[in-house]
Amino acid sequence: MRRINPKDFTMAKRGTSREINRQIVLTLIRTHQPLSRADLARLMDTNRANITFLINDLLDEGLVREGAMGNEVKRGRRPTYLYLNSDEACAVAVDIRATRTYLMMTDMLGNQLENVVSFPTVYEPERFSKILSEHIRKLLDRYKGISACRGIGVVVPGMTDIKTGIVLRAPALGWLNVDLLGFLRKEFENVPIHIENSGKACALSQIWETRSELHTHHDLVFVSISDGVGVGVVINGELMRGKHNTAGEFGHLPLSIDGLPCLCGANGCWEAYISNLATISRYFGKNLSQRQPLPLETANFTIEDLVKQARSGDGKALSALHLTARYLGLGLASIINAIDPSQIYLGGEITEAWDLIEPQVRDAIRERTLTKDLGETPIRIVPAIEHPRLRGAVALVTAPAFAAPKVA
């Protein structure tokens, strides 16, 4: 039951029905491909005639193409299969991280076209934009050139204003009110560019996932743990953005209001207990604050190293992981109580040790969730190989073509 906003609504016009059904057809082809007209008619509970008209439009526009005939039928005329026409155009995804920046190119269905490439992140925004642009151009040249590029999706570890394309705050990059969109638009004038926060992008990657499309959840939370904690929330198939596009900052929920100091200035934030630095710090028996420079001995010691140590029998490493796991679970419990999602996705380096920490996480979740059902909320680990941030950046470009039209 959604209230119609009397200050911002969309009337149904003569073509609105067509528009709605068109998007449904595209979504169904995307998820069920390959598919015949008759299949669509059955799925949509309508007549084949209507489908013929809808598909004719899409064929004329070149969005859909006819392919081989189906031959696994028992009797009757064989169906002609329909496919999305995703070959001609491409999307470029960019993931800016503290140390390196990654690029990926896909077709409009999100299928990867080239290997992921990367370069060391430069912190001066204008110079960074120039270098990034060169890499994008190189990548596109290897394919079909800029003319084939339908959009560039850029993901940033920080708060962004998606309307102006300004990076409001990205502590990991030292950026404050950086007009990233402005810099990039100079280089790619006629290409749509989208800037988004990485936590939100990870959530987008899961709703718009093409592989396991049929099992996709429409209410989900993506929690990504690395230097900080990024969270993206999807409700009813739509990303929760909030008034200032800052919704989803669960990383700074307190575990104890006068606990460990956090980068954000407050104390006892969840992030301060479960970030990679927090775990490493715990291993070295120190309370390394994010606010202070790292001691030498820890500077080259990564969370991957710590997991290796734990696997090779280092008890201190294992107990450091277990404590992080407990705090991780306590924070997840809060998210579950607050959102009641049908699925939680977990990303970040520490999830490679999921087999070591799952029991501790689940115990902590059960400890603080309010009902038994909530305590059993399913969790799926998203491994780094799936590139959730890059896939989210892709979705920024490719998803609008399949999204529900705004109506009422």
User: Which residues 66-105 are close enough to bind a copy of itself by CB under 8 A?
Assistant: none
Per DSSP, the three-state class of 15 is coil
Cα separation, 64 vs 192, in Å, equals 22
User: Could you give the dihedral angle defined by the CA atoms of residues 388, 391, 396 and 398, in that order, rounded to the nearest 10 degrees?
Assistant: -150
Non-local CB neighbours of 61 within 8 Å, separated by 6+ positions: none
Q: Smallest distance from the beta carbon of 333 to DNA, in angstroms?
A: 45
> Does residue 235 bind a copy of itself (CB under 8 A)?
yes
Cα separation, 382 vs 346, in Å, equals 6
Q: Closest CB to a copy of itself among 28 and 294?
A: 28
Cα separation, 222 vs 317, in Å, equals 26
Q: Closest CB to a copy of itself among 147 and 371?
A: 371
Question: Of these partners, DNA, a copy of itself, none, which one is at the site of residue 55 (CB under 5 to 8 Å by kind)?
Answer: DNA
Q: Binding marks (x or -) toward a copy of itself, 180..219, rule CB under 8 A?
A: ---------------------------xx----xx-x-xx
> Does residue 257 bind a copy of itself (CB under 8 A)?
yes
Question: Which residue type sits at 161?
Answer: D
Count the residues of the shown chain that bind DNA, applying the rule CB under 7 A. Answer: 31
**Helix ranges, 66-217 (H):** 125-141, 180-187, 198-207
Single residue of 63, 195, 239, 390 touching a copy of itself by CB under 8 A: 239
Q: Which two tokens stand for residue 208?
A: 């718009």
Single residue of 133, 374, 380, 381 touching a copy of itself by CB under 8 A: 374
Cis peptide, bond prior to residue 34, ω within 30 of zero: yes
Question: Of these partners, DNA, a copy of itself, none, which one is at the site of residue 256 (CB under 5 to 8 Å by kind)?
Answer: a copy of itself
Q: According to CB under 7 A, which residues from 72 to 101 bind DNA?
A: 73-80
Q: Closest CB to a copy of itself among 1 and 385?
A: 1
Q: Are the CB atoms for 25 and 17 separated by under 8 Å? A: no
> Does residue 291 bind a copy of itself (CB under 8 A)?
no
Cα separation, 100 vs 280, in Å, equals 21
> Does residue 67 bind DNA (CB under 7 A)?
no
Q: Are the CB atoms for 183 and 216 separated by under 8 Å? A: no
> Does residue 49 bind DNA (CB under 7 A)?
yes
Cα separation, 14 vs 53, in Å, equals 16
> Does residue 28 bind DNA (CB under 7 A)?
no
Q: According to CB under 7 A, which residues from 182 to 241 bind DNA?
A: none
Residues near DNA (CB under 7 A) are 11-15, 17-18, 20-21, 36-39, 46-50, 52-55, 69, 73-80
